[in-house]
Amino acid sequence: MSEQNQNGRRVGEVILDLQNISLRFGGVKALTDISFNVKEHEIRAIIGPNGAGKSSMLNVINGVYHPQEGRIVFHGEERKKMEPHMAATQGIARTFQNIALFKGMSVLDNIMTGRITKMKCGFLEQALYLGRAQKEELAHREKVEEVIDFLEIQHIRKTPVGRLPYGLQKRVELGRALAAEPSLLLLDEPMAGMNVEEKQDMCRFILDVNDQFGTTIVLIEHDMGVVMDISDRVVVLDYGKKIGDGTPDDVRNNQEVISAYLGVAH
Amino acid sequence: MLYREAGQFKTSYAADQQIFPIRQDRIAIGLILVVAALVVPMVASEYWIKAILIPFLIFSLAALGLNILTGYAGQLSLGSAAFMAVGAFAAYNFMGRIEGMPVLLAFVGGGLSAAAVGILFGLPSLRIKGFYLAVATLAAQFFIVWALTKFGWFSMDSSSGVITAQEIQILGYRFDTPISLYLLVLTIVAVMALAAKNMVRSSVGRAWMAVRDMDVAAEVIGIRIMHTKLLAFAISSFYCGVAGALYAYAYLGTVEPEGFNLDLSFKILFMIIIGGVGSIMGSFLGAAFIVLLPIFLDVLIQDFLTGLLPPSISSNLQLMVFGGLIIFFLIVEPHGLARLWQIGKEKLRLWPFPH
Ligand SMILES: Nc1ncnc2c1ncn2[C@@H]1O[C@H](COP(=O)(O)OP(=O)(O)OP(=O)(O)O)[C@@H](O)[C@H]1O
Ligand SMILES: [Mg+2]
């Protein structure tokens, strides 16, 4: 049932449906009555000015925040109260706006950690490191090496992440998310603070992930050029409300969006 | 032979995932074990074995336990000595109350009892962190020592909680000489250190470090925080518990709850600070340092500084040096001796062309 969209991507059924989501922190309304959906294989962007509620939206999707109102349907099932680690086992991975790597660990270990939900051996087996535990560790190491090759970071595998420059840290964080082989990947400003070259690399990786692994991607980004280039559909938030939703062209021409966001330099 | 990776190309991930990927490290560990097991018993005096090597190994094990919790999982604890006490008293009860209890099983029982108590006192870690958690473990420290002193049941009604370890027999062999005790302790500590090394390089260890470094991200990746923290408390306390049992059975012979007081907890904490937080080897280095330092200072004072220092200073020299070193390591090298060693090795790996 997949159709080709204007970017030549095979976009499938709706896999994530958010209905009337409202989220408050005490008196602060972070999100008010927001509905939108995400279709399989698409790249869905969320844009909006600072404080619009974009990161909160991602946090709702992967169970870090629990909205007071609204329904979330993922893969056809309505979600009950869910903790982040359950979202992870359901195939949702993400990166953070402020890099959230494990500072004391090497690149390799950070990315290995991304596969934790897939590792089944108990601590006793691991303490003995015989048979199954060893096999498991090696099998996952191979998967992780694929991710490392894909992101072209072979040369820094053993480096503690704290010593890496910002751009590479962002890439390692993407690697950690990819290692989980997610069906839905949430990226919170993956290109923020990067130079042009690093941004191009990151764009390429995102498109390749989408293309080669068929991963559905929800992406927050401030760089309008990037958003218009790579996304299939865009949601626009402002002060916690949805003010636009559609293809990049629709959004670009939406008067409310122009006045709230595109027209305002920041 | 130079300390070098050159020429050791790893052709498989299996080779790269070995416990000690660099050949020289494997050889060094092997050598240390051989020397410890074969040479030391032949050359070391009884005093060295009884008063230095055995306590060194036991403290290493306790420091290893604390390092799992604090260094790897990032949960600060001031209750290590109390968990040792639980291990010692539980082992004593298993031995005393169950006819024909094998002593190794009693040690395991001591460790498991400590693990259970560790989980209980680890529960606050699900809510609080850092300083406040340290205070909660401090409560554990005081409560456990108090309970062991107060309730005669724990010491099988011996006076004021003093317990005297039963003799150790394994398969009919009596461990009553210092050398036999030393070898027993060495075996237990080596096996448990190896197990710890395996854990910290597997997914359990990565989960601990992930929780330590960034708990929100850890949870988003799929790590169950509660499970991970409590497992760290359990395993850490297990190690401390076994160390406590050995402390009673292989080192002191007779102990009272007060022997496991806050001072001892701090001593173990200092070991990991000086040795290296988050390092298996650091636990051993730190223990060696803290066991040897007082002896070294005593010799120094007696042989070289007699009369030079007023007694008020020489009797407190140990504390002053300790304090100074702790401050030095906290400020200058928070990863301790193990990190200094690592830096040395890295330099050596590249020597003589540092660039
Ligand atoms: N944990 C929290 N506790 C209290 N308020 C919060 C919390 N998280 C977000 N908020 C509030 O919710 C609103 C939306 O924040 P959010 O981080 O989602 O915005 P954003 O669109 O990601 O902004 P930016 O572009 O700056 O990243 C803000 O007013 C913020 O202060
Ligand atoms: Mg944000």
- What pLDDT is stored for residue A4 in this prediction? 59
Same domain (yes/no): A176, A127? yes
Average pLDDT, chain A: 90
Regarding the beta carbon of A48 and ligand 1, being less than 6 Å apart is answered yes
Same domain (yes/no): A125, A19? no
CATH assignment at residue A118:
3.40.50.300
DSSP of B194-244: HHHHHHHTSHHHHHHHHHHH-HHHHHHHT--HHHHHHHHHHHHHHHHHHHH
A39-57 pLDDT, tens digit each: 999 999 999 999 999 999 9
**Closest Cα in chain A to B277:** A104
B133-154 pLDDT, tens digit each: 999 999 999 999 999 998 888 8
What is the count of structural domains for chain A?
Answer: 2
Same domain (yes/no): A10, A84? yes
Is the model's pLDDT at A29 over the cut of 50? yes
- Residue B294 domain-assigned? no
Cα B112 from Cα B286, distance rounded (Å): 25
What is the count of structural domains for chain B?
Answer: 1
Same domain (yes/no): A142, A26? no
pLDDT band of B160, cuts 50, 70, 90: confident
Residue nearest to atom 10 of ligand 1 (CA): A30
pLDDT band of A266, cuts 50, 70, 90: very low
pLDDT above 90: percentage of residues in chain A? 71
B129 or B14, which is more confident: B129
Tokens 């031995």 correspond to what residue? B95
- What pLDDT is stored for residue B18 in this prediction? 75
Same domain (yes/no): A115, A189? no
Whether B198 sits inside 8 A of A87 (CB atoms) is no
pLDDT band of A2, cuts 50, 70, 90: very low
- What pLDDT is stored for residue B21 in this prediction? 73
B20 or A5, which is more confident: B20
Show the domain range for A174: 100-181
Distances (CA, A) of B32 to A138, B40, B170, B276: 28, 10, 25, 20
Closest alpha carbon to B211 in B282, B122, B335, B274: B122
Q: How far is the CA of A25 from the centre of ligand 1 (A)?
A: 9
Q: B252-261, B281-290, B344-353: which has the minimum mean pLDDT? A: B344-353
Cα B58 from Cα B53, distance rounded (Å): 9
Same domain (yes/no): A2, A87? yes
pLDDT above 70: percentage of residues in chain A? 94
Please state the rounded mean pLDDT for residues A218-231. 91
Please state the rounded mean pLDDT for residues A197-217. 94
What is the distance of C-alpha B211 from the center of its chain?
A: 21
Same domain (yes/no): A215, A256? yes
- What pLDDT is stored for residue B191 in this prediction? 96
Cα B269 from Cα B118, distance rounded (Å): 16
A78-124 pLDDT, tens digit each: 988 788 999 999 999 999 999 999 998 999 999 999 999 998 888 98
Q: B19-28, B128-137, B167-176, B228-237: which has the minimum mean pLDDT? A: B19-28
Question: With an 8 Å Cβ cutoff, is B316 touching chain A?
Answer: no
- Residue B105 domain-assigned? yes
Average pLDDT, chain B: 88
**Closest Cα in chain B to A85:** B222
Q: A174-178, B42-46, B286-290: which has the minimum mean pLDDT? A: B42-46
**Closest Cα in chain A to B212:** A102
Burial label, A22 (beta-carbon count in 10 A; 0-12, 13-18, 19+): middle
Report CA dihedral (B332, B336, B340, B341) to the nearest 10 degrees: 180
Token digits for B312?
Answer: 């008020």
Token digits for A12?
Answer: 């499938």
Report CA dihedral (B196, B201, B204, B207) to the nearest 10 degrees: 130
Beta strand A43-47 with A216-220 is parallel
Whether A128 sits inside 8 A of B195 (CB atoms) is yes
A75-84 pLDDT, tens digit each: 988 988 788 9
Question: With an 8 Å Cβ cutoff, is B218 touching chain A?
Answer: yes
Same domain (yes/no): A205, A86? yes
**Signed CA dihedral, B285, B288, B294, B296: sign only:** negative
Whether A127 sits inside 8 A of B209 (CB atoms) is no
- Residue B140 domain-assigned? yes
CB A136 within 8 Å of CB A120: yes
Tokens 């012979």 correspond to what residue? B253
Tokens 């907890």 correspond to what residue? B265
- What pLDDT is stored for residue A265 in this prediction? 47
Q: A124-138, A238-252, B54-68, B279-293: which has the minimum mean pLDDT? A: A124-138
Same domain (yes/no): A186, A87? yes
For residue B286, what are the contacts with CB-CB under 8 A and spacing of at least 6? B63, B270, B271, B272, B273, B274, B275, B276, B336, B337
- What pLDDT is stored for residue A5 in this prediction? 62
Phi-psi group of B141: left, alpha or beta (phi > 0 → left; psi -120 to 50 → alpha; rest → beta) = alpha
Please identify among residues 179-208 of chain B the ones whose CB lies closer than 8 Å to any CB of chain A: 195-196, 198-199, 202-207
Beta bridge partners of A77: A74
Contacts of A188 in chain B (CB under 8 A): none
Q: Which of A22, A32, A55 to mutate to test the pocket of ligand 1 (most atoms within 8 A of CB)?
A: A55
Contacts of A134 in chain B (CB under 8 A): 14, 17
| ipTM, interface predicted TM-score of the complex | 0.90
pLDDT band of B161, cuts 50, 70, 90: confident
- What pLDDT is stored for residue B9 in this prediction? 63
- Residue B99 domain-assigned? yes
B74-127 pLDDT, tens digit each: 999 999 999 999 999 999 999 999 988 899 999 999 999 999 999 999 999 888
Is the model's pLDDT at B193 over the cut of 90? yes
- Residue B21 domain-assigned? no
Question: With an 8 Å Cβ cutoff, is A126 touching chain B?
Answer: yes
pLDDT band of A241, cuts 50, 70, 90: very high
Whole-prediction pTM: 0.90
Regarding the beta carbon of A123 and ligand 1, being less than 6 Å apart is answered no
Distances (CA, A) of A264 to A55, A256, B131, B226, B334: 20, 12, 45, 45, 47
B15-44 pLDDT, tens digit each: 777 777 777 778 888 899 999 988 888 888
At residue A38, what is the residue type? V
CB B20 within 8 Å of CB B29: yes
Burial label, B340 (beta-carbon count in 10 A; 0-12, 13-18, 19+): middle
Cα B342 from Cα B346, distance rounded (Å): 6
Same domain (yes/no): A198, A177? no
Same domain (yes/no): A141, A162? yes
Same domain (yes/no): A171, A128? yes
Q: What would the 3-class secondary structure string for chain A be?
A: CCEECCCCCEECCEEEEEEEEEEEECCEEEEEEEEEEEECCCEEEEECCCCCCHHHHHHHHCCCCCCCEEEEEECCEECCCCCHHHHHHCCEEEECCCCCCCCCCEHHHHHHHCCHHHCCCCHHHHHHCCHHHHHHHHHHHHHHHHHHHHCCCHHHCCCEHHHCCHHHHHHHHHHHHHHCCCCEEEEECCCCCCCHHHHHHHHHHHHHHHHHHCCEEEEECCCHHHHHHHCCEEEEEECCEEEEEECHHHHHHCHHHHHHHHCCCC
Show the domain range for B71: 44-259
- Show which of A164, A181, A198 is a domain's final residue: A181
- Residue B282 domain-assigned? no
A129-172 pLDDT, tens digit each: 888 888 899 999 999 999 999 999 999 999 999 999 999 999 99
B29-85 pLDDT, tens digit each: 889 999 998 888 888 888 999 999 999 999 999 999 999 999 999 999 999 999 999
Closest alpha carbon to B19 in A108, A116, A134: A134
**Closest Cα in chain B to A173:** B217
Is the model's pLDDT at A8 over the cut of 50? yes
- What pLDDT is stored for residue A224 in this prediction? 87
Question: For residue B156, what is the DSSP state?
Answer: T
Interface mutation target, options B192, B202, B216, chain A, most CBs of A under 10 Å:
B202
- Residue B80 domain-assigned? yes
CB A42 within 8 Å of CB A249: no
Residue B237 phi/psi, 5° resolution? Answer: -70, -30
Could you give the strand order of the β-sheet that contains A233-238, starting from the edge strand earlier in sequence?
Answer: A92-95, A184-188, A216-220, A43-47, A233-238, A241-246
